[in-house]
A and B are shown apart, each in its own frame.
Chain A
Amino acid sequence: MDSREHERFHAEGIPHDHDHGDGAREHASSRHADAQHHHGHDHACVSRHPHGHHLLQVENLCVSFSMYDPDEPFFRARKRDVKVIDNLGISVHEGEIVAVVGASGSGKTLLADAVMGLFEPNATVTGTVWFDGVQQDALGLSELRGRGLSLVPQSVAHLDPLMKVGAQVEGLPRGGETRQARRRRREELFSRYGLASEVAEMYPHELSGGMARRVLLCCALMDSPRVIVADEPTPGLDLELAVRAMEDFRAFADAGNGVLLITHDIELALRVADRVAVFKDGTVVEETAVANFASPDTLRHPFSRALWHALPEHGFEVVGENEVAGAEGSCGEGLLVGDALEGIAGADTPCGEGAGFTC
């Protein structure tokens, strides 16, 4: 590792992971060779740290909910904390798409919420978030929302059903902006993404699927963000269409920004992302370059390897860390990859006790 850069990291107060693992190689100052391992993760060739820090870095993130113990009798139940995200760390570099891949219902959306600083009243969130080298607290995150850090949600259900699309994309002017300026920016974005000007006068329920996706992207781009958190942005699309729908995100990342793509679809992640963070049991078990998914030997965590084996080109094979899943989990060829992933996740959750799959 370059010692000068090392110093800069400390000067900026970013804790440093000195565990370089087995794959650690020399660390170039701003550009990395593919699959370079540092700070507990591998780099893709597009990953850059232009000022010696990540665009977005999350460390030791824990989210827990205080709720009544469901195992106790109704009236005597006491509150206890249920941890849903446990000691999670993830980084987004400039110019890259990082995909967080995990089974449906495994709490990935909570990760998006925590990064965006959106917390339920009964949630306890701890951890550190750096944005462009500056450590953020809850207030800082709330100021970043919509300016620097934008969310692209899953579907039009995230738009007000009773408000015209144009007004919603424009949002509220802030900090000396005028309504006219936002309107112009919205029109510019609409023409860039091929949305007719009539779309602005439509209500969300009148949008087609493709229009809705572009409208939601425009919402995020209104405030010129550096990082986009995309929470399952291609619902219900088949792989080819989804990959195409992700081209806009690719262009955004190529312009020197970062995308945190949250998805359950490992195939999509491998096609469009530069790096993949494997999400399991509320934490990222491995953060690695997509190139490392070429062979199971370059993957570190057994769950990632299980994921590799479950890919269609590797025959949906299930060789979980958990042998039970492998023994009983062959449900035929009709299995989709998304389901395969869930099947693996199910292997060590209570519902997967007998068979590793839900098919």
Chain B
Amino acid sequence: MKTTLKYALRLALLLLAVSFVVFALVSASPIDPVQANVGQAAYVTMSEEKRAQLAEYWGAGVPFWERYLNWLSAFVQGDMGTSLRFNAPVAEVIATRAVNSLALMALAWLISGVLGFVMGVVAAVFRGGLIDRLIKGYCFVLASTPTFWLGLLFLMVFAVGLGWFPVGFSVPLGKAAADVTLLDAAHHIILPALTLSVVGVANIALHTREKTIDVLESDYVRFARARGEDTWRILRRHGLRNLALPALTLQFASISEIFGGSVLVEQVFSYPGLGNAAVTAGLGGDVALLAGIAVFSAAIVFAGNLTANILYGVVDPRMRRRRGVAEGSLPEGEGRCAAEGGGTR
């Protein structure tokens, strides 16, 4: 109960800070929302009254504090405001966009997680060998590749050159929304998801490789070997168990990275997701939408980290049983081991 309250408070503070920063940044931004949204040519030919009217619509003259507090009091009451750019409630815009984005990210997240884990373990088992070098080389190259550049490259090769995939968007152009099949959606999601996951793999594989090497060089693996277990059996019996914790942390921490990457990838593939909307909102001075998206994504990343924390307790008996004793105190078993080990050297 106490823990739940602590997490809730932490989330509230996080969202408050995120929204504040968004508002502060937008008010400090040199973009004139009227100019940005009406377009240069229309703005020049526009009458003075019309400009004033638009400026009022965009709330250009309202001071920063007033604007923020207005938004905040509405947000607390459950109203995320209206997107001026999309001319629709922010909640609605986010809801439609989030479906696309979350599908894209979930796919990329799963592919990179599973592929990265397998590659990391394989590289660690054959460390120093050819397979290890190939996997490491692949990871180093990809870890230093900008996501948007890789997206462009994929577009050039697979969409333009080979024509296997569409060049952009989440559904075929000129097709009525009711006619769009799941297959269409899948066809459109593959390339952006692939771009995201291919980049994400590098990070996860390299981390998993290090962790696996740690496990393979640990005392308990040495002892298991001394008892006649071979490498693959050891990996199955002890490796997966001990790799689960770092893998979970890594996987849930990578949500934020995937989120960041999706902004760029959605831009490159004109994929109508949250990232795309965030860019539009930022460039158009649509502060309500931008704040809405920022708060939404912060909540998702927070939920990811929280899930990792909860799963920790489920997977690790040291934490599970410690909770029963006393929160925050040193587990007695660990202290005992440390005291014992200390006496030997």
Contacts and interface: CB of A to CB of B under 8 A. Distances in A.
Given A153-B219, A158-B222, A159-B223, 13 more contacts: A150-B226, A150-B227, A157-B219, A162-B315, A171-B227, A171-B228, A205-B318, A205-B331, A205-B336, A205-B337, A219-B227, A235-B343, A236-B339
Interface string B293-331: 000000000000000000000011110010000000001
A161 B318 contact: yes
A223 B333 contact: no
Given A118-B225, A146-B227, A161-B220, A172 B340 contact: no
Interface residues of B, number: 34
B124 to A, nearest CB: 12
A145 interface: yes
B49 interface: no
Nearest to B345: A104
Given A207-B333, A209-B336, A236-B340, A145 B225 contact: yes
B257 interface: no
Nearest to A169: B227
A151 B241 contact: no
Interface string A154-176: 11111111110000000110100
Interface string A214-243: 000001001100000000100111000000
Contacts of A143: 228
B77 interface: no
Contacts of A70: none
Closest 9 CB pairs of A and B: A236-B343, A146-B228, A205-B333, A235-B344, A151-B226, A158-B223, A146-B227, A145-B228, A158-B219
A235 B340 contact: yes
Q: For chain A, which range describes its interface: under 10, 10 to 19, 20 to 34, or 35 or more residues? A: 35 or more
A162 B343 contact: no
B242 interface: yes
Interface string B210-227: 000000000110111111
28 contacts: A104-B345, A113-B222, A118-B222, A143-B228, A145-B225, A146-B227, A146-B228, A146-B229, A157-B220, A158-B223, A160-B237, A160-B238, A162-B315, A163-B237, A163-B238, A171-B229, A172-B233, A174-B228, A203-B318, A206-B321, A208-B336, A219-B223, A222-B227, A235-B341, A235-B343, A235-B344, A236-B340, A236-B342
B154 to A, nearest CB: 38
A116 interface: yes
Interface of B: 127-128, 219-220, 222-229, 233, 237-238, 241-242, 315-318, 321, 331, 333-334, 336-337, 339-345
Nearest to A122: B128
A143 B315 CA distance: 33
Contacts of B242: 160-162
A160 B241 contact: yes
Interface centre among A143, A222, A236 (most CB of B within 10 A): A236
A163 B241 CA distance: 8
A124 to B, nearest CB: 15
Nearest to B242: A162
A121 interface: yes
Interface centre among B223, B315, B318 (most CB of A within 10 A): B223
B308 to A, nearest CB: 17
Interface centre among B227, B339, B342 (most CB of A within 10 A): B227
Contacts of A147: 228
A159 B226 contact: no
A208 B220 CA distance: 18
Contacts of B345: 104-105
Contact of A172 (B237, B339, B342, B344): B237
B237 to A, nearest CB: 7
Nearest to A153: B223
Interface string A120-136: 01000000000000000
